[in-house]
Structure 1
Amino acid sequence: MADIISITDPSDDRLRLYRDVKDRDLTGRDGLFMAEGKVVIERLFRSPWCFCISVLTTSERLKTLDISQAGDVPVYVVEQAVMDQVAGFAIHRGYLALGRYAGPAGLGEVLKPGRARVLALSAIANTDNMGGLMRNAAAFGVDAVVLDVACCDPLYRKAIRVSVGGVFQVPHVRVPNLIEALAEQGLSPYALSPSGTVALDEVVPGMRSAFLFGAEGPGLTAEVMAACTTVRIAMHGGFDSLNVATTSGIVLYHMCR
């Protein structure tokens, strides 16, 4: 059961990792991250890949937070003014939580034999796009997300918020070479391209498939594209591409059914 602890002093050392969260991110510090918002934090409580270390909220907000699955984490309860002072800005959602990622060290640890659907990302540096991609991965039942070294951390505070906690539902791993990592797991790679050789609605994905997306603008490298089946989405009005998160939603809906 969660341990409810009232705190009145904004300088209390138990709140030190919540200080000035607007100006910094906790990623890179022993796997720590900061989550905000009721829905996001409740997803954190239920996550098989992340665990909650503590929660910061107000007495009024605590009444609506489902802490039944929070375990024995400390829940620090403060006045709204104290919360805003500690965080360095107004916390309109009224909830913050400190967590740690405890996901798999490699892709082989999470994929089971047989059917597998993987989202593979290259050079996704925009946190909004990363959050949208992680949300779609969770919504369409992707088994894992693979990131190359040029991707931003999916556990940046803004990426977590945009994902609506979806990042807590899908394990992610970082690899030095996407194509090699996918091949080691017997995954057939598909890459989106305006000049793709096959239309999306004609694709019948293999039993074990991975869907690759690159940054908006440069997209995937020629080397990566050459190793994949390239897929196009039919469009009108002279458009040949969409936002990467939007595109992933269309593709994952088709490929994960």
Structure 2
Amino acid sequence: MVQVQYIADLGDSRLDAYARLTERQLRSVLEPEKGIFIAESAKVIERALAAGLEPVSFLMGERWLEQFTPVFHDLEVECPGLDVPAFIAPMELMEELTGFNVTRGALAAFRRPAMPDARAFLDGLVARADGRPVRVCVLEGIVDHTNVGAIFRSAAALNVDGILVSPTCCDPLYRRAVRVSMGTVFQVPWTRLGTTARAWPADGLSVLHEAGFSCAAMALADDSRSLDDPSLVEIDRLALFMGTEGDGLSARTIEGCDLTIRIPMARGVDSLNVAAASAVAFWQLCPHATNSYHYQHGRYA
């Protein structure tokens, strides 16, 4: 059941996950085998619950308790053995904790889901596609959590089948990435690709090629194809590589990919922000239809 507990002091040790632990500590200290992440706002929390993620605790200002009461009731019905606290604090205390007026709602700590093996992940995407083209995005070394969150939101809206994250890419479950994604990080299937920064990109490219994917680098190159090249949409299994802010994809990654793609530009502009570029590429290369085939009834199908 969800146990409502009132909080009057930010020094309360039960609030460590929200007030004192770093993102790195959340990943390894509280739950060494899985880790914990923080979700912010009612919509994000509800999407995490709908995706079947397990809550550890909730924290919200007292004005939000009424809105969450039916959410807690549904959670108790679906998970009768679950026992989690819901910490309720005065709004003034919440504003002191977060540093701003808590208009977005509430916070919740969730257990991190286990990441599937990349090979099994890709096999599952292909099986669910049932013969239609499959599109995945590979994020190489992207360090801005806002960009990662924005890419996930575009991927959810524009029908990307899955996202793979390189060893040097920032964490999609970092608090800001989750918030910017509006919880779509729980809707778009994703996993890690590659073992170490030293072995990248050879190990990641090998996994994709073995799964039958053509690897396309989004980069400026003399031999690149325009994004509107009609042959691109005919590729059955396509992995689209997006590179880090500023430098873009590494030379080794571009060399290892099967083709290079560029977005045609006007007025002397040579490139777009990686999040904006991803949205343009997804719109052009992914089928324009609902992506409910891989996310149904609050669970991955």
Question: What TM-score results when the alignment is normalised by the length of structure 1?
Answer: 0.87
Decide which of 91, 95, 108 is 1:97's aligned counterpart: 108
Q: Distance in 1 between matches of 2:26 and 2:204?
A: 22
Question: Which residue identity lines up with residue 110 of structure 1 in the other structure?
Answer: F
8 Å CA contact 2:208, 2:215 repeated in 1: yes
Decide which of 245, 256, 259 is 1:216's aligned counterpart: 245
Q: Which consecutive residues of structure 2, in runs of 5 or more, have no partner in the other structure?
A: 77-81, 196-202, 288-301
Secondary structure, in 3 states, of the residue corresponding to 2:135? strand
Which residue number corresponds to residue 186 of structure 1? 212
User: What pairs up with 1:5-154 in 2 under 5 angstroms?
Assistant: 5-20=5-20, 24-25=22-23, 26-29=25-28, 30=32, 31-48=35-52, 50-65=53-68, 67=71, 69-71=74-76, 72=82, 73-85=84-96, 87=97, 89-90=99-100, 92=102, 93-111=104-122, 112=124, 113=127, 114=131, 115-154=133-172
Percent identity of equivalent pairs? 34
Which residue number corresponds to residue 296 of structure 2? none
Deviations 1:72-128 (A, max 9, x none): 44322121233345x363452341110122143312333322443211011101111
Q: Distance in 2 between matches of 1:132 and 1:155?
A: 13
Q: Does 1:167 align with 2:193?
A: no
Q: Which consecutive residues of structure 1, in runs of 5 or more, have no partner in the other structure?
A: none
Q: Distance in 2 between matches of 1:99 and 1:161?
A: 14
8 Å CA contact 2:136, 2:161 repeated in 1: yes
Q: Distance in 2 between matches of 1:233 and 1:186?
A: 25
| Residue 82 to residue 153, structure 1, CA distance change in 2 (3 Å) | same
- Number of residue pairs matched by the alignment: 253
Deviation at 1:141, TM superposition (A): 3.0
Question: What TM-score results when the alignment is normalised by the length of structure 2?
Answer: 0.76
More helix by share: 2
Deviation at 1:208, TM superposition (A): 1.8
Question: Which residue identity lines up with residue 250 of structure 1 in the other structure?
Answer: V
Secondary structure, in 3 states, of the residue corresponding to 1:248? helix
8 Å CA contact 1:53, 1:98 repeated in 2: yes
Q: Distance in 2 between matches of 1:235 and 1:33?
A: 39
Secondary structure, in 3 states, of the residue corresponding to 1:254? helix
Q: More displaced, 116-125 or 7-16?
A: 7-16
8 Å CA contact 2:63, 2:91 repeated in 1: no
Q: More displaced, 68-77 or 120-129?
A: 68-77
| Residue 27 to residue 215, structure 1, CA distance change in 2 (3 Å) | farther
8 Å CA contact 1:61, 1:95 repeated in 2: yes
Question: Which residue identity lines up with residue 19 of structure 2 in the other structure?
Answer: R
